[in-house]
Structure 1
Amino acid sequence: MFGTYFLVLVAAGAGTVDSLTHGDVGRGASVTAPGLMVAAIILFMGAVSGAHLNPLVSVAFALRGDFPWRRVPGYVLAQLLGAILASLTLIAVFGPHGGNGETVPGPAFTDSQALVVEALLTMGLVSTILGSASGAQNIGSFSAIAVGAYIILAGLWASPVSGASMNPARTVGPDLVRGDFTHTWVYLLGPLSGMLLAVGSAYLLRGPGGGPTGTKAAQGTPNSEQPIQRHPNPDNRL
């Protein structure tokens, strides 16, 4: 919830602030900020929860055998709650501006075109996440750079088409707050299709998941294997 809150705060907040300042943020910064935020979140809390931030990532890891299905509903609920709280925060601070972070097809594109683009973008995103979590890659914390860079690159070329959401929580949270679900189906069906394609591709490329590296990346390690050593303070100083 904490991670998705900050992701949506940045992703949706960029459009809100851009609207209020009449373009001071710009499209380049608007798509770069979420990617940098995701990289930061992976680095600072990936070991706690796996830093999924996206319901489809939780499902993808579960399909790969790296994440227990019993934890998926709680993760999805937390992600949606984080997105909703971020949207409410933006409205409370700035009021209703810039569509309050909605993701909708661009004016020159149809829902069908946006759906296909979201499917392709999500296939690449989930492939990057699953691949960088694989023990075969052995890149560790550098996965944050890979995932963050992919989000930026996807937004740079495709955000005018669909907003480059790739994340149902990112879209559904603001839609729930706004009460407008006109295009929500695009951002559910498209990313879901892309996620399934990515999981299928991962199976073809690397076989089934369930290895120790992928499992650790997916689930995090909130409880350290080594107990924290607390040393007494002989001087009684804070």
Structure 2
Amino acid sequence: MEFSLMTRFIAEIMATALLIILGNGAVANVELDGTKGTKSGWLVIAFGYGLGVMIPALIFGSISGNHINPAFTIALAVSGFFPWSEVIVYIVAQLIGAIIGQLIVVLIYKPYYDLTTNVDCVFGSFSTTSNSPGPWYGFANEFVGSFILFFGALGITKAPFFADFQGSAHYGIGFLVMVLVVSVGGPTGPALNPARDLGPRLVHHFLPLKHKGSSHWDYAWVPVVAPILAGIVAVALYKGLFL
């Protein structure tokens, strides 16, 4: 079934919002003081992000393709898998969805944001920073993680193994995100997605939080540029090798 661009625009908004609610919601549950999940650990965050990709993919994958990531949209367009005329529409939808999703996270966790005095824990439930000195270690981390994500996502969705049931491929992508958070997520978070980082960072910047701290705009270019470059390389390489 073919869906109109407006329908796909709405689907991308909802899908990206759901990604942020489930992913950043898991971070808020772990990092904020006083929640039922306080200090429950990195695996909870990985599980939240893995399912935060998998669930919207199962809901919206057959409608909009469930890009939920400007880097993926741009990479697909560069390699001829997606029309350039729709790229801006998808990216705008993704940013709107990320902002809406983060506002919902803040709404449901508001009492715990007020309790949490550690500004790094507060910011961690919005966006990413690097634990390494200087931005380039973070850039390398985001590039490697994003490359694996996009190469793997295209490989899973294009694999003959899933040809008879494309929907089942979304389970694989969810597990891929989960293992990326576990295995390469330590240095930066990670973002792997410009909308997932930039949208919530804008919310953090403008929202009057009780214990706010810096929005770390000096680092903000890394989770935007690195995934885009990694996506272009990953999708082009997979196309050149296997399609």
Instruction: Using structure 1 for the length normalisation, give the TM-score.
Output: 0.80
Would you say 1:133 and 2:157 are equivalent positions? yes
Secondary structure at 1:52 match in 2 = coil
CA distance in structure 1 between the aligned counterparts of 2:239 and 2:185, rounded to whole angstroms: 29
Name the residue aligned to 2:70: 55
Name the residue aligned to 2:127: 102
Gaps spanning 5+ residues in structure 2: where? 1-12, 117-121, 206-214
CA distance in structure 1 between the aligned counterparts of 2:60 and 2:236, rounded to whole angstroms: 28
Secondary structure at 1:113 match in 2 = helix
Name the residue aligned to 2:139: 115
The answer to which of 128-137 and 147-156 deviates more is: 128-137
Name the residue aligned to 1:199: 235
Change (3 A) 1:14 1:78: same
Name the residue aligned to 1:215: none
CA distance in structure 1 between the aligned counterparts of 2:70 and 2:196, rounded to whole angstroms: 10
Name the residue aligned to 1:3: 15
Secondary structure at 1:9 match in 2 = helix
Name the residue aligned to 2:28: 16
Instruction: Give the AA of the match of 2:149.
Output: L
The structure with the larger Rg is: 1
Instruction: Give the AA of the match of 1:128.
Output: G
CA distance in structure 2 between the aligned counterparts of 1:182 and 1:17, rounded to whole angstroms: 27
Q: Percent identity?
A: 25
Q: Once the 2 structures are TM-superposed, how far is the Cα of residue 164 of structure 1 from its aligned partner?
A: 1.7
Instruction: Using structure 2 for the length normalisation, give the TM-score.
Output: 0.78
List per-residue Cα deviations over 1:169-223 (Å, max 9, x = no partner).
Answer: 010011111222231111112112211220231132124xxxxxxxxxxxxxxxx
Would you say 1:27 and 2:42 are equivalent positions? yes
List per-residue Cα deviations over 1:119-158 (Å, max 9, x = no partner).
Answer: 0111111111212222645442221122111101110022
2:95–2:199 Cα contact (<8 Å) kept: yes
CA distance in structure 2 between the aligned counterparts of 1:167 and 1:52, rounded to whole angstroms: 10
Gaps spanning 5+ residues in structure 1: where? 208-238
For 1:71-220, list aligned pairs within 5 A: 71-95=86-110, 96=113, 98-99=122-123, 100-106=125-131, 108-134=132-158, 136-139=160-163, 140-179=166-205, 180=215, 181-207=217-243
Q: Once the 2 structures are TM-superposed, how far is the Cα of residue 94 of structure 1 from its aligned partner?
A: 2.1
Secondary structure at 1:162 match in 2 = coil
1:109–1:161 Cα contact (<8 Å) kept: no
How much is the aligned-residue C-alpha RMSD, in angstroms?
1.8
Secondary structure at 2:136 match in 1 = helix
Name the residue aligned to 2:4: none
Count of residue pairs the alignment pairs up: 206
